[in-house]
Structure 1
């Protein structure tokens, strides 16, 4: 009996050590692709099979170095998406950890190298808005790397034809100035609307107008412990922290993101790029 107890304790200890080792050394640098199909009658046939790669929260700096960032970019490039959308937080606390000019140039070159025939878009994250210098830096990087920054505004997504859906970018709830009415003012509910916001708790307001919302910010908890992590009090992701939610007639999908912050570890919250495929649904 005593031997069984000792054996059980040893096994538990080894399991804990294995989990900690994996969470610290493997999980943060293992980038997965999560595939999601968005099917709706309002998605026009001309956009059938159009793919959208959504990535967020790279947090270049403290833990994400240029080698890691290159791996992230390669995952996106290997998908050959039609559209690429970045959900914010490019650098990790850039107001405090000021990126060097060589790092900035490398980031621009890597982002610019991503090909997306139907467009590359981005929204602000809270780290991007820590001070005016950081904000201007991010604006400059997006401009030089051919990403269109969407701040409370909309764009039409076409695919070699007149049919389209709307893409709406909403400013971050943290340090930003989200304005739902302004963001959706040039859209109409007869057309499918995909919206993007760094902070998922904007969902209740966005659901009035939007059909689908992409968000990030929470890192899926980063260290996610079932039940316990649901009580995490993350500003901007207090209500919606991880996974997919149905809110009124809108779907919210919260990505785990790619990078890490505060501590370089992940558990049950894989670093990910989300690849969405649009599908026209017959009535």
Structure 2
């Protein structure tokens, strides 16, 4: 009898565990956004950007399972982190989603409320480029929400001072063409460089000497990951499906699980996530000559040298000679010898 009770107890525990995993995978995990924190340390990161927070979010897949309330919950999660800059890794709409001006407005309103004082940036994913019409909707959303699209180009992230890092954006490899030469045209190996592309396998194309970190999405981390495989393993996420990878012992490829779901609305061992990167500078502190209240909108430009003021020679004052003053002689009165002398009056006693 005790043996039967022990077996029933074990079966009950197993059943409860399986039930919990199913409830979590299908009901809780898709609606719960995990924040993964990472630190990027380098002597190429300027002291001006020490402790700067860059948030990476990818694969929203709005329309099928991601609705207004879930998207707003995502935005609230991001704003609680208070990032300095935000990078979007592509794919706003889910495949086969119904796209209208109304849905555009819903997404744009939510993304517009994301606060990032140093800028909001985006690359396009394969779903964003699925058709010319979809791309037009996506670009309109990003423009309304104040996201700058970096398509085979680079931008500088800075806080108004001379120090900056470079952010390189590449097109995806599925239905577009990444142009590495154009994207890295204005990038120097002396600066810290973060590259971002929707497709993870594109990391093998970038130059090793001018890439310090590589951000990607697309794969959803498999969405549901089993020890023998993944529920979702798309093309161009074949070599690198999930997690972090050291590329040729040079830079790290970091693949986000994204925040949306595709097909079945579930997550298992691949939680929906946003990633917050904190920059840590090991560079020596340097004095900056930036005047308070000024803003350098092109930190890569050669600074204008201050004008040199030539010293004005002192005027030479010649001594002025004082003219000699000759005293004027007092005239001597002439006495007439023939004149009768004037008598002196006598005073009576």
For Structure 1 versus Structure 2, the TM-score category normalised by the shorter chain is over 0.9
CA distance in 2, matches of 1:282, 1:266: 41
1:174, CA displacement in angstroms?
1.4
Q: Which has the larger radius of gyration?
A: 2
Separation in 2, partners of 1:99, 1:242: 29
Superposed, which structure 2 residues align to 1:43-122 within 5 Å? 43-93=45-95, 96-122=96-122
Give the deviation of 1:5 after TM superposition.
4.0
Aligned-residue Cα RMSD (Å) equals: 1.7
TM-score, normalised on structure 2? 0.77
Q: Kindly tell me the number of residue pairs found equivalent between the two proteins.
A: 280
CA contact (8 A) 1:66 1:103 kept: no
Deviation at 1:7, TM superposition (A): 3.9
Which residue pairs with 1:127 in the alignment? 127
CA-to-aligned-CA distance 1:122-170 (integer Å, 9 cap, x gap): 0001111111100111111111111000111001111220111110001
Q: How far did residue 59 of structure 1 move?
A: 0.5
Aligned partners of 1:207 and 1:250 also within 8 Å? no
Q: Which runs of 5+ in 1 are unaligned?
A: none
- Cα distance, 1:263–1:189 mapped onto 2, change above 3 Å: same
Alignment correspondent of 2:216 = 215
User: Of Structure 1 and Structure 2, which has the larger fraction of its residues in helix?
Assistant: 1
Q: CA deviation at 1:252?
A: 0.9
- TM-aligned CA deviation for residue 6 of structure 1: 4.5
Query: Which stretch has the larger CA shift, 66-75 or 13-22?
Result: 13-22
CA distance in 2, matches of 1:207, 1:256: 25
Matched, 1:35 2:37: yes
Contact 2:195 2:211 in 1 (8 A): yes
Deviations 1:155-198 (A, max 9, x none): 11112201111100011111121111221111111111001111
| Partner SS, residue 17 of structure 1 | helix
Cα separation, 2, equivalents of 1:261 and 1:78:
26
CA distance in 2, matches of 1:282, 1:122: 28
Task: Tell which deviates more after alignment, 42-51 or 6-15.
Answer: 6-15
SS in 2 for 1:129: coil
SS in 2 for 1:128: coil
Higher relative contact order (CA 8 A, sep 6+): 1
Kept in 1, the 8 Å contact 2:223–2:232? The answer is no
* 98-107 vs 162-171, which moves further: 98-107
Shift of 1:45: 0.9
**Is the contact made by 1:31 and 1:272 (CA closer than 8 Å) also made in structure 2?**
yes
C-alpha separation in 2, matches of 1:99 and 1:24: 25
> Alpha-carbon deviations, 1:83-134, whole Å to 9, x = none?
01111111102xx323232221121111112121111000001111111100
Instruction: State the alpha-carbon separation in 2 of the partners of residues 198 and 266 from structure 1.
Output: 20
**TM-score, normalised relative to structure 1:** 0.94
Contact between 1:232 and 1:238, CA under 8 Å: does it hold in 2?
no
1:266 aligned onto 2:297: no
**Structure 1 residue 9: deviation in Å?**
3.4
1:246 equivalent in structure 2: 246
Task: Indicate conservation of the 8 Å contact 1:34/1:273, yes or no.
Answer: yes
